[in-house]
């Protein structure tokens, strides 16, 4: 009954009286609040009134096993009561996210949708904001908590993100698409001009894309609020990516550098072993005439990282992530980072590479794609091919395909590490020109697509 109501509501906003009354009887019979059936009630508001429900949303839609072990009784039969309870909670979170209505969207409505989407991500075993592209959540609606300590900032109780392709394929991109549509339906300039309304906006990839597109048409208070939102989003994503970089593999021990003779580097086991010949049986005492220390210095050779980013509209997510990632690697010792953005013209953003916020403000989204203009800036920067890595982020739908590919192949043959990247988003969504994809594969440099973890690992392995 609850799932029939869910389907009816998804495909027709008109209320079906029979389904509504029957569903209400079911919900009341299993002891759940009737507010679960109220389309105007957010998940936040329900959890605030009934805090005990917060934990039930954790991994609500992630099966414990193929046999749905969580819905079996001790005797091996199906737990019908648990199935009905789950159906009620699942229906609520799905309806709130996938029935986004029509007409103009207010800042409050967008904040509520983002909050409900966070609960859905939590139900899928992820952190709020993780599937939509960019960051781990920090509460909802721009606040640190939703009341009663129920902010959906947990991990979903799993510790790692599950393989959602087995459950609901490509749900992350679809959530992002719904959010983008809601942002487009907002009178964003009017909202930004009102500090009170602007404060209710939660930074997201969809919102940042719209702000970057419209920034040249903003001024005064609206522009200041837009910049504040962009900086908040950049800081949140940078925090996540910086952690990933720190966890990636590091360089080998450099034994050519003498170890620093301080107590914390003392190798006690080796010191005892090397001095065993000085053991005095009569005194039962070990005399130490030499101390041994551990090497902690790691090999770091000067490396040059050249990041070329397609700033056309289809690559916004990857552009934002890679711009921030470039700034993080620019902070590593002895790594010389250069950043180039292009559409039909190329812009050298290297002077601002340490500040992704300033870099993004200088980008201009949209337009066509001509990678040859970016190649003209990138090639002269390669002075030592063996110590250089070129990361080229694009969907590779180019105007001049043959000349661009030949230039890329020449870079690869010179000994430079060339990494073509199709998309580096949290969802891994992205379309890559099949002509380029096949030729990169034949060249031995397959296109890297998927989670940004992959690019972090590739770069950290080469640079350290």
- In the DSSP assignment, the letter for residue 72 is B
Looking at CATH, the fold of the domain delimited by 303-463 is given as: Rossmann fold (3.40.50)
Are 228 and 202 in contact, with CB atoms under 8 Å apart?
no
35 in helix, strand or coil?
helix
Strands (E) in 207-299, as ranges, are 279-280, 285-286
**Model confidence over 389-446: pLDDT tens digits?**
898 988 888 888 899 999 999 999 999 989 888 865 544 455 788 899 899 999 988 8
The reported pTM is 0.58
Are 422 and 392 in contact, with CB atoms under 8 Å apart?
no
Domain ranges in the chain are 2-243, 253-297, 303-463
d(CA 278, CA 449): 60
Q: Which residues of the chain have pLDDT under 70?
A: 63-77, 133-170, 241, 244-260, 295-302, 313-317, 332-333, 365-367, 423-430, 450-453, 460-464
Q: Write 441-445 long-range contacts (CB < 8 A, 24+).
A: 443/409, 443/412, 444/412, 445/412, 445/418, 445/419, 445/420
Are 364 and 315 in contact, with CB atoms under 8 Å apart?
no
**Model confidence over 112-132: pLDDT tens digits?**
888 898 899 888 888 787 777
- CB under 8 Å to 114, separation ≥6 — which residues? 140, 141, 179, 202, 204
* Residue 183 phi, psi (nearest 5): -65, -40
Distances 199 to 41, 100, 106, 118, 159 between C-alpha atoms, Å? 22, 22, 12, 19, 31
Distances 103 to 99, 106, 183, 185, 427 between C-alpha atoms, Å? 13, 10, 12, 7, 28
d(CA 244, CA 343): 29
């Amino acid at each position: 009954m609850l799932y029939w109501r869910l389907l009816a509501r998804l495909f027709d906003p008109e209320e079906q009286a029979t389904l509504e009354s029957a569903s209400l009887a079911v919900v009341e019979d299993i002891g759940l609040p009737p507010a679960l059936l109220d389309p105007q009630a957010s998940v936040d508001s329900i959890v605030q009134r009934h805090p005990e429900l917060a934990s039930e949303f954790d991994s609500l839609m992630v099966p414990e096993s193929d046999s749905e072990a969580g819905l079996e009784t001790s005797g091996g039969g199906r737990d019908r009561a648990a199935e009905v309870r789950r159906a009620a909670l699942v229906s609520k979170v799905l309806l709130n996210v996938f029935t986004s209505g029509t007409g103009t969207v207010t800042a409050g409505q967008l904040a509520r949708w983002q909050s409900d989407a966070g609960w859905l991500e939590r139900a899928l075993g992820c952190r709020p904001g993780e599937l939509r592209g960019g960051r781990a959540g920090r509460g909802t609606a721009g606040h640190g908590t939703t009341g009663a300590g129920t902010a959906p900032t947990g991990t979903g109780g799993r510790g790692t993100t599950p393989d959602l392709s087995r459950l609901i394929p490509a749900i992350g991109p679809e959530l992002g698409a719904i959010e983008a549509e809601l942002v487009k339906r907002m009178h964003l300039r009017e909202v930004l001009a009102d500090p009170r309304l602007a404060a209710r906006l939660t930074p997201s990839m969809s919102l940042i894309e719209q702000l970057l597109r419209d920034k040249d048409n903003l001024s005064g208070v609206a522009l200041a609020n837009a910049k504040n939102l962009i900086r908040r989003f950049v800081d949140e994503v940078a925090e996540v990516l910086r952690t990933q970089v720190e966890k990636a593999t590091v360089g080998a021990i450099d034994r050519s550098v003498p170890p620093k003779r301080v107590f914390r580097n003392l190798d006690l086991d080796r010191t005892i072993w090397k001095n065993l010949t000085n053991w005095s049986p009569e005194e039962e005492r070990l005399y130490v005439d030499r101390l041994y220390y551990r090497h902690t210095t790691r090999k770091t050779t000067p490396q040059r990282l050249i990041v070329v980013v397609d700033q056309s509209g289809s690559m916004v997510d990857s552009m934002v992530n890679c711009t921030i990632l470039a700034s993080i690697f620019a902070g590593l010792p002895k790594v010389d980072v250069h950043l180039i953005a292009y559409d039909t013209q190329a812009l050298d953003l290297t002077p601002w590479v340490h500040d992704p916020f300033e870099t993004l403000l200088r980008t201009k989204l949209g337009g066509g794609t001509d990678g040859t203009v970016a190649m003209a800036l990138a090639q002269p920067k390669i002075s030592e091919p063996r110590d250089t890595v070129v990361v080229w982020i694009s969907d590779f739908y180019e105007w001049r395909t043959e000349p661009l590919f030949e230039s890329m192949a020449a870079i690869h043959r010179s000994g430079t590490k060339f990494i073509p990247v199709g998309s580096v988003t949290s969802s891994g969504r992205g379309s890559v020109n099949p002509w380029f994809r096949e030729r990169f594969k034949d060249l031995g440099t397959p296109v890297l697509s998927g989670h940004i973890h992959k690019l972090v690992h590739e770069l950290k392995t080469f640079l350290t």
